[in-house]
Amino acid sequence: MLFIGLLRLIRLLVQSSIAQPSSIIAAILVILTGHYGATLTHGTNFIVEPMTKNESVAFDKAMVFADVIQPIFEQKCVSCHNPDKTKGGLLLTNQQAILKGGKTGKLFVAGNPEISLLLQRIHLPLEEKKHMPPVGKPQLNPLEIKLLSLWIKGNADFTKKVMDLPANDSLRLIATTFLAPAVEKEESYDFAAADEKTIQKLQTAYRTIAPLAQESPALSVSFFNKNNFASQKLAELSEIKSQIVALNLPKMPVSDADLNTIATFENLQKLDLNFTDITGKGLKILTSLKKLQRLSVSGTKVTFGDLQPMIKNFGSLTTLTLWETSVSVDEIKQLQKANPSIEFIAGFRDDGSNPIKLNPPQVKNHSMVFKDSVLVQLAHPINGVDIRYTTDNSPPDSIHSLLFTGQTTLQKSATIRAKTYKTGWLGSDEVVFDFFKNTYKPDSLRLLLPLNRVHQAAGANTFFDGILGTFN
C-alpha cells in the first residue's frame, strides 16, 4: 500500500504546476530506498508473497505433492532454485525439473531418503557451506523435514491424494497439520452475548477471553502459566459458561475434579486438555456435553480401557487427539473401527519403521583454543541421543568408542571425531573438532606484511585472541 501511495504521489507531483525535478527525484529515491530496505528485511518476494500463497484445500481434494510437499519447496527452497536463479543447476518449480536434479545429481532416490541428496544437504550442520537452505534463509522445521523424508520413503509420488494414504500412515497424519482447513460456513448460536463488563472483569494476564468472530456471542478462553492456575480460576468462568465454546488448558495442572466444572459449560465444542493431570476415568463426566466436537487429551493418563466403553457416549464428537498416550496403534485401529464417525489422531510415533539420519553433534565451547585445560562441551538438539567420540584419530562407532558424558577434559591439543546414535535412527555423519592448547601470548606484535585490505579482522591480535576462524 505504501508503494502504491508513493506512486500516486509522484503522479500528483508531475501533474502539479509547481512540480520540480528535484521533488520527483526525491520521491523516486524514497520508493527505491523503502523497497530495497524492505527486501533486505523481509525477502525478495515480500510484496507478492501474500498473493501467491495457496488457497485453502479441502482434505478430500488435497494432493500429497501439490498441497503438502510443493509448498515446502516454495517457502524454503524456491528463492534459490527458480527460473531466474537456478543455484547448482537445480530448479524446484515443477515435477520434471525436480526429477532431473542439478549439477551434483538426482535430488532424491525414490524409496531411500537416507541416501537422498536432498535430505543429506538439509541435515548438514548449519555452518556447513553446502547446508540447505543456506544461512540467512528460513530453515526447515522438524515436521517439514519429516514430511520430505516420508514422501521420498513412499517413492516420491506426484499424483497421490492425501486421503488415499492409509488412515494411520505417518505421512497422512502429519500432512493433516499442514493443510489449511476448508472454509466453513459461519455458525449461528442460540445464546445471547455475555455482558462486556463481565468479560473485562474476568480477563487476566494468564486467562484470555476473546470472541470467536466479530459480533459473535461465542467465546474462546485460554489459560497460560501453570504456576498461576487454580481450580478457582476455572470456577470463576461460571458467569459466562453459556458463551464458552472453546476452552484451552494445555499443560495446566487440571485434575479430574476440575472436569466437573468444565461439564457445566453446556455449549462447549472444543476442549484442549493436552498434557494435563486428568485421567480416562475422569473424562466420563464430559459425556454430558452434547455439543462437544473436538477433544484433545494428548500426554495424559487416558487408557484404551477407559475410552473403549465411554467413547460412544460422546454424541457429537468428531475428533479425539491422543498423542503420547498409552493407547497403542492397534488399539486406535479398534477404536476407529468401532467409531467410524470419529477421527482418532495419534500423531507420528517413532517406531523405527521410517528411520532418518541424525544431525551430527555440535560443539558448544566458546573457543576451542585454551591455555591450561578445557572441558569439552558437545551437545545435540534431540533428547536421548548418544554422542560417541575418539581422540586417537580413529573413526567413532556406536559400540567401542567412548560415550560422551560431559566430563571430558583436555590438557593438550587434540582432535575429537564424533558421531551421534539413537535407537530407530540412522547414525549421523562424522564431525571433527580440533582443540588447540596455546601456551604463549606475546607482549607485542608486529606484522611484516599488511593484512588483506578486506579481511582485517582484529589485526595482528587475530593470531592470538583464542578465536578460530571459519571457511566462510
Q: What percent of the chain has pLDDT over 70?
A: 82
Band the pLDDT of 313: cuts 50, 70, 90. Answer: very high
36: pLDDT strictly greater than 60: no
| pLDDT at residue 192, as a whole number | 93
| pLDDT at residue 469, as a whole number | 67
C-alpha span between 23 and 344 (Å, rounded):
64
Least confident range of 24-28, 245-249, 437-441 = 24-28
222: pLDDT strictly greater than 60: yes
- pLDDT digit string (tens) for 58-86? 777 888 998 889 888 888 888 888 887 88
C-alpha span between 358 and 374 (Å, rounded):
27
b/e code 431-450 from CB counts within 10 Å (16+ = b): bebebbeeeeeeeeeeeeee
Residues 242/217, Cβ–Cβ less than 8 Å? no
Indicate the DSSP class of residue 183. Answer: P
Mean pLDDT within 257-276 = 95
Residues 268/245, Cβ–Cβ less than 8 Å? yes
27: pLDDT strictly greater than 90: no
C-alpha span between 219 and 206 (Å, rounded):
16
φ and ψ at residue 85, rounded to 5 degrees: -150, 90
What residues are paired with 419 via a beta bridge? 388
In this structure, which amino acid lies at residue 360? P
418: pLDDT strictly greater than 50: yes
| pLDDT at residue 295, as a whole number | 95
Band the pLDDT of 307: cuts 50, 70, 90. Answer: very high
Written as nine digits, the cell of 33 is 530506498
394: pLDDT strictly greater than 90: yes
C-alpha span between 172 and 165 (Å, rounded):
6
Written as nine digits, the cell of 57 is 484445500
253: pLDDT strictly greater than 80: yes
b/e code 254-271 from CB counts within 10 Å (16+ = b): bebebbebbbbbebbbbb
φ and ψ at residue 228, rounded to 5 degrees: -105, 5
Mean pLDDT within 455-471 = 75
Write down the residue that cell numbers 590438557 correspond to: 411
| pLDDT at residue 7, as a whole number | 44
266 vs 163: which has the higher pLDDT: 266
Residues 158/99, Cβ–Cβ less than 8 Å? no
DSSP for 115-167 reads G-HHHHHHHS-TTSTT-SSPTTSPPPPHHHHHHHHHHHHTT--SS-BGGGS-T
C-alpha span between 47 and 31 (Å, rounded):
13
| pLDDT at residue 134, as a whole number | 85
C-alpha span between 408 and 402 (Å, rounded):
10
| pLDDT at residue 60, as a whole number | 73
C-alpha span between 139 and 128 (Å, rounded):
14
Written as nine digits, the cell of 207 is 486467562
| pLDDT at residue 382, as a whole number | 85
Please, what's the largest Cα pairwise distance for the chain? 86
Residues in the chain: 472
Cβ neighbors of 76 (< 8 A, separation 6 or more) are 133, 137, 138, 139, 140, 144
| pLDDT at residue 47, as a whole number | 37
- pLDDT digit string (tens) for 124-182? 887 788 888 888 788 888 888 888 999 999 899 999 888 888 877 888 888 876 675 54
Residues 368/435, Cβ–Cβ less than 8 Å? yes
Band the pLDDT of 357: cuts 50, 70, 90. Answer: confident
Query: Could you tell me the end-to-end alpha-carbon distance of the chain, in angstroms, rounded to an integer?
Result: 38
| pLDDT at residue 225, as a whole number | 87
Angle at 241 between CA 239 and CA 242, to 5 degrees: 115
Written as nine digits, the cell of 132 is 540447505
Mean pLDDT within 286-302 = 94
| pLDDT at residue 167, as a whole number | 74
In this structure, which amino acid lies at residue 107? L
Residues 224/207, Cβ–Cβ less than 8 Å? yes
| pLDDT at residue 178, as a whole number | 65
Helices (H), 203-252: 231-235
